[in-house]
Chains A and B, each alone.
Chain A
Amino acid sequence: MAKATSEAGKGVAEIEGHDLSAEDPLILKHYYHQMLLIRRFEERASEMYTKAKIGGYCHLNLGEEATIVGLTAALTDDDYIYTNYREHGYVIARGVAPGPVMAELFGRETGTSGGRGGSMHLFDARSHFMGGYGIVGGQVPLATGAAYALKYQGKPGVVICQVGDATTNIGPWYESLNLAKLHQLPILYFIVNNGFGMGTSVKEGSSEPDLWKKGSSFRIHGEQVDGSDVLAVRDATKRLRAKAERDGEPAIMDVVSFRFRGHSVIDPDRYRNADEVKRGRVEHDPLTHFARRLLEAKIVDDAYIRDTADKVEHEVQEAIDFADQSRPPAMKDLYKYMYATDVPNTISEAEQEMFQARLDVEEGEGKRS
């Protein structure tokens, strides 16, 4: 009893000193490249949104690049990721080409979800990216269930359940923590703590603002991590991941980062102090920090930084071109993914008539154009 309590009560922010010379320079460059790719992807996605290439809601990972790349760097192919709706970067960091991600944002058949999901609902079965979920907290029981299945089937790997800070205030979060610990599931609850749930600060929304403590009534270990340091995130994830996989010991990671912009592309961010945001972008920019460290350690030079910027610019432009040139899903496939097991009477006669009328209109327009 005493042991469990003290374990759950632990949670000191660990400052992990990194000797960059002990790291593989190629891997460090790879992290930098991925982080920059996410940065430019998101900046261009924002631009594409204002050009009305992207519809609906669109939430960006700007400022969270180190958090994302640090996380995925610690994972194996066996692992699964569930996230919230701010997830473009995770899919890219998991190895999916930026083209299909941008195509999903554009609503194209070549998108990661065939154009059916959009920005909030990316999915990639091959890389075990198990979905972005638009409803706050919705992914938490699902991810817990995925961990349940891994344990049930005796398979290797863990599940990452990424959530935002404000998700730690919703019911399914607590029900899931209870289930995860009861069943000793291989899962990490990975809180991207950018300080704000939309416009509500962590302190305004959570009676316990130290989010890493929020598993203590469930005897779940938690700790805080600097989300602007890619290596800190990677190492903490690696350590907790191993424990989750080996011992079935779930954990909470409170990964603190700075949100560069408003909640979504269209949020003018008026509830934050403009000067503080400006300062925050400079002080907490994971990319400039990491670049400086790499330069100081002479792992890269200015030419590398410039070349990588050019390369990334080109990659993102290619993604945009790919999305732009891809076709939207065909109208005739509207019902295509309705059910996994076909069933009679899915569409009524009346609905079939309406659907046919729309098909006819599309065909007519196709002939005219």
Chain B
Amino acid sequence: MALIELRSVSKAYRKGRAEVRALDGIDLSVSERGMVAIVGPSGSGKSSLLHLVGAMDRPSAGEVAVAGQALGALPEKALAGFRLKTIGFVFQGFNLIPNLSALENVMLPLEFAGLAPNERRRRAEALLARIGLAARASHRPAELSGGEQQRTAIARALANDPPLVLADEPTGNLDSKTGEMIYELLGDVARERTVLVVTHAEALARRAQTIVHIQDGRLAGKG
């Protein structure tokens, strides 16, 4: 069964008086589990696709369904709940809350999900242990290396055990060695859920089971 279904999805933005078509009639189906890499030149519409799948934006036309949920029909409040339970985000710039420790950052989505403080802590500690950051749990982002910050962000993305993780250039701010570590981690994550990753990094794309090529807002190939 497909986890992600896009049917004739288009997205247009207004830039001054001009209309920019970021996506143009995308049809895409992504199955459960495994890594899918979305590749393409800058400005091709990769991130726009990611935002639509992640319920951060709405399509101008077409339908987006994730985990059996048609996103177009959901109001804003329900979209927040959808993102909380179904999506885990990993950003290029890590986007950790600077005055919270690594552990507290991972606990945040669990707090939004309404878990009791003890349970939050237990699950966040387990996630940090899994990614090898147990000893750095009390450190704030500024005290962590770039790789450690991105691993913390991945742990945060996994906090509510979502079926889908969306990663937007997750190694874009990291050196190649650290990036390799993140590829491995995402590959590991993709064994039990779907990881949709937007990347320019060929090494990361090669690890994906599926590569989706986007060109000028259109699906240029899938394989």
Is the pairing of A and B real?
Answer: no
Report which A residues bind B (CB closer than 8 A): none
